[in-house]
Each structure stands twice: as C-alpha cells, then as structure tokens.
Amino acid sequence: MEEIMKYQNIQVETREKVGLITLHRPDAMNALNGELLSELVHSLQVFDRDDGIGAIVITGNKKVFAAGADIKSMVNANATDMLTGSFVELFDGIGVIKKPLIATVAGYALGGGCELAMACDMIVAAENARFGQPEVTIGVIPGAGGTQRLTRAVGFFLSINILKKPLNSLQRLPPALRWLSALVRKRSTRLLNSLYRRD
C-alpha cells in the first residue's frame, strides 16, 4: 500500500480490507470546502489503487456527517468564481472511484453533505440521521449532483419536500427506505459506534 499523506481536514485509516475516511472539521460541523474535498478525493484515489482494500467507508461523527458546503468560503465569490471553481470538479472525482463507497451517516447530512452521501454506492444511516438540501433557502442550487441524484433516489415529489425540510431517516416513507441501504437502530449501534473516534 502506498503511503497516505497527512491530512488536515480528514482522518484516514485502514481496518482490515476497509479504507475508513472520517471527515474532520469539528469546529465547522464538517462543512465541505475545497481543501477537505481535495484531501477526500486524494485519499479515495489512494485506497482505490490499493489491492489490499476491498471497500471504502466515508463517515463523520455521531452528531454530523457534513453540514453542507462551507458558506464562509463562498461569501466573496462572484458568479464567475462559482462557475470556474473546483468544487463540482472535485465531486466528479468521487464518481470515478471503482471500489464500493459506503457512507455511514449519523446526525446531519445537509446540502453538500447530503450530496456526498448520495455520491456513494450505499448509505448506512443511524436513527438520528437527517438528510436535506436547505441551500435553496439562501438562493443556491444543489450544484454537486443533488438535483439529479435526489430525484432519482426518492422521486420528484419527495425531493421537493426535502428541499423545504430535512428528511429524518426514521420517516417510514417507501422512497426513503429505498434510498437508505440500511438503518441502524439504537440497539444495533455498535456498528456505527465502532467507526467513530473518541475525542
């Protein structure tokens, strides 16, 4: 296995044949910025080339997977900056990973965080997982695939509702159940708890 570089915004480790990537911007609720996404894509590429890795897990912490894009990094951006920026291109780098990608989600997966989870092949959700695309409330569209993946996953009408109000993973809506690969109940949280680092 090639050596994994030191990262500032994610934590990376190997557990047997699984590559585990933990989003780690605790002071910003794991908000996605260019630096985090660059590190994420790099670590995914390293694991993808490693013959000893069979699957890759992307996770956050017990309270938040990722609370969306880092709006602070966009405050001074104009339309041209947004169009020519690398944010969406970095998301495209996730789509070319050949090995199975599993998102384990606890807490909030909003905006870009929801899109990141949907970019994975499977979503395993804790009972407290909440999915949503609230960026429309500040005049921003789900630009990293959310407008396509969300409607494919849950259908048009539920997508409209999710744009207005986050979807709780316990809402027993048939489309929501098809969207999630697994729902981990409280009595079965050992799986999720084993993934999260203890601070």
| 84-121 per-position pLDDT tens digit | 556 567 777 888 999 999 999 999 988 889 889 988 98
Cα separation, 144 vs 17, whole angstroms: 29
Tokens of 125: 């959700």
- 3-class SS of residue 126: strand
173 vs 53, 63, 123, 178, CA distance in Å? 34, 23, 16, 9
pLDDT at 131: 82
Please name each of the domains of the chain with its CATH number: 10-193 (3.90.226.10)
Cα separation, 15 vs 141, whole angstroms: 37
CA 130, distance to chain mean position in Å, is: 12
| Average pLDDT estimate for 182-188 | 54
pLDDT at 196: 53
Q: What is the chain's mean pLDDT, rounded? A: 76
Is 135 designated active site?
yes
Q: What is the pLDDT of residues 116-140, one digit of tens each?
A: 998 898 888 888 888 877 666 656 6
Look at residues 171, 65, 173, 60 and name the one whose alpha carbon lies nearest to residue 110.
Answer: 65
Share of the chain above pLDDT 70, in %: 54
Look at residues 111, 104, 142 and name the one whose alpha carbon lies nearest to residue 126.
Answer: 104
Is 144 designated active site?
no
pLDDT at 118: 85
In terms of pLDDT, which residue wins out, 58 or 168?
58
CB 70 within 8 A of CB 33: yes
Among 19, 39, 66, 115, the one annotated catalytic:
115
Amino acid identity of residue 28, one-letter, is A
What is the phi/psi pair of residue 126, to 5°? Answer: -80, 165
pLDDT surpasses 70 at 162: no
Among 103, 125, 135, 176, the one annotated catalytic:
135
Q: Which of 15-19, 23-27, 91-95, 145-149 has the lowest mean pLDDT?
A: 145-149
Among 31, 69, 117, 119, the one annotated catalytic:
69
pLDDT at 14: 94
Is 31 designated active site?
no
Is 115 designated active site?
yes
Among 112, 132, 145, 146, the one annotated catalytic:
112
pLDDT surpasses 60 at 175: no
